[in-house]
Amino acid sequence: MKFELTVTVREQAGKGAARSMRRSGKVPAVLYGQGECLLLTVEPEELIKILKSQAGSTALISLTVAGAKSAPNRTALLRDYQVDPVTGAVLHADLFEISMSKPIRVKVPIHVVGGVPAGVKEGGVLHHNLRELHIECLPAALPDHIEVDASALKIGDGIHLKEITKREGIRYLDDPDQMVVSVAAPMSDAKLEALLTSAAATAAEPEVAAKGKEAAAAEGGEPAKAGAAAPAAGEAKAGEKKEAGKEAPKAEKKEADKKK
């Protein structure tokens, strides 16, 4: 899909200039690539139209650059943008200039088609293992998305990247053995209960440890560390034996004096 966008070169840069531009109803933007970087001003309505389209970041944009010293007509991709989290207004846009004669590398979304897979009708769960594909192609061959027909998948089946029909002029850059979409068996009630029980036990462990520390602090001491108690007990026993050894000779000598 191709869009047309009219932009204007701006001279002022910085946060202050950008805020002033937004207050006047414009969107600050930057065009980079092809060895040049231009500061631009964009009308928000035209930019929002591109963002709301299905193509999104894969849409080719025919730029008319007003005030450019050279090449007023250019082709670009919308590489990135920022949106106000409260109002939803577009705050900034990054445009990447491309050459129609040079291959580009982009990520395009995957659309699963063919209706509800056979395995899902049997109770299985559809997994989108990949949401987008990394491809290389000339700008003129850039697709809006890649379609994957999952209608024939049964429970336990899946489609790998190498099984997707090749498209002329497009090269897939991801691992060919990577799973794109699959249908898994539904989780049994027993397995779900086991997972929930395990998660609850894991979450309770830090709380038990914390209570142990609080109890030790209340008794006026620190909780014993692992391995500390055994050596201490060993030392005490060794001391007892040593003392007993000292007393034995005295008792034997006293008994001998009495016999004499």
Same domain, 13 and 86: yes
Same domain, 84 and 122: no
In this structure, are residues 39 and 95 in contact, taking their beta carbons and an 8 Å threshold? no
pLDDT tens per residue across span 56-70: 668 899 989 888 777
pTM of the model: 0.64
Q: Which of 50, 67, 98 is the last residue of a domain?
A: 98
* Domain range enclosing 61: 2-98
CATH of the domain at 132: 2.170.120.20
Q: Which of 157, 184, 211 is the last residue of a domain?
A: 184
State the average pLDDT over residues 101-130.
93
Please check the confidence at residue 132 and state whether its pLDDT lies above 70. Answer: yes
pLDDT tens per residue across span 167-181: 899 999 999 999 999
Residue type, 192: L
Q: Picking from 78-87, 116-125, 198-207, which range would have the lowest pLDDT averaged per residue?
A: 198-207
* Residue 125 structure tokens: 């769960």
State the average pLDDT over residues 46-53.
83
Greatest alpha-carbon span in the chain: 127
CATH of the domain at 39: 2.40.240.10
Helices (H) and strands (E) in the chain, counts: 5, 13
Please check the confidence at residue 224 and state whether its pLDDT lies above 60. Answer: no
Same domain, 65 and 7: yes
Cα distances from 233 to residues 53, 213, 229, 240, 244, in angstroms, run: 75, 22, 6, 11, 17
CA pair distance 180, 127, nearest whole angstrom: 9
pLDDT-derived band at 184, boundaries 50, 70, 90? very high
Residue 148, classified by CB atoms within 10 Å of its CB into exposed (0-12), middle (13-18) or buried (19+), is buried
Predicted local confidence at residue 54, as pLDDT: 60
Domain count, the chain: 2
